[in-house]
Amino acid sequence: MKLPKKLNTLLVDDLGTRLEKVQDCLLVGCDGLPASQAFALRTKLRAGGSRMRVVKNTLARVAFDKAGLKTLIPQLGGASAVLYGNDGAADAILAISKVVTEWNKDKAVKPLTVKGGVMGRVAIAAKDVERLASIPAKPVLMAQLAGAINGPARSIAGGVAGVSRKLAVALNAVAEQKQKAGAAAA
């Protein structure tokens, strides 16, 4: 049974409008994914602020074209789902990649086939998704950067403090020697 043209237009407009707002998304093959597992995957994605939308390829082509994601059109084929972050979050692709990579490692669920994606409106290959998943979260990266910046400063401060401490000890020793010499002379 064919969907009415009006309904197809509404579906394309909705998906196209949602995808226009995102900078990052992932296209996965979900052939044979049971409904219960699709629900579990959606739940995991929602926890990270992302969404999953199973799409008909004919409608997805039009929506991708409308949203400016033409690089994803050749990757359409078979049952497909679009995974995207809400409101164009900067690290959405990292969160989505981590969820998909963890999902595919779980032997109890049907794995997804990563077809490709878009990161910052630039196409990424399926093989890059695992590498993206290995990147630490933004707060961890910022902590690592702060540690890298703070490390040399801490070393300099420790070195200066050590020199000051040694100078204070030496001056104290000289003062004690002069007191002893003054007391012995008197």
Task: Assign 39 a pLDDT band (cuts: 50, 70, 90).
Answer: very high
- Say if residue 26 is in the same domain as residue 112: yes
For position 125, which CATH number holds?
3.30.70.1730
The mean per-residue pLDDT over the stretch 102-106 comes to: 87
pLDDT for res 127: 80
pLDDT above 70 (res 152)? yes
SS3 category, 34: coil
> How many helices (H) and strands (E) would you count in the chain?
6, 5
Question: Looking at residue 1, what is its pLDDT?
Answer: 45
| Residues 114 and 37 both lie in one domain | yes
| Number of domains the chain is built from | 2
| Alpha carbon distances (Å) from 88 to 103, 111, 160 | 23, 26, 47
| Whether 116 contacts 27, CB under 8 Å | yes
Distance from C-alpha of 125 to C-alpha of 42, rounded to nearest angstrom:
23
Q: How confident is the model at residue 33 (pLDDT cuts 50, 70, 90)?
A: confident
Shared domain check, 85 and 165 = no
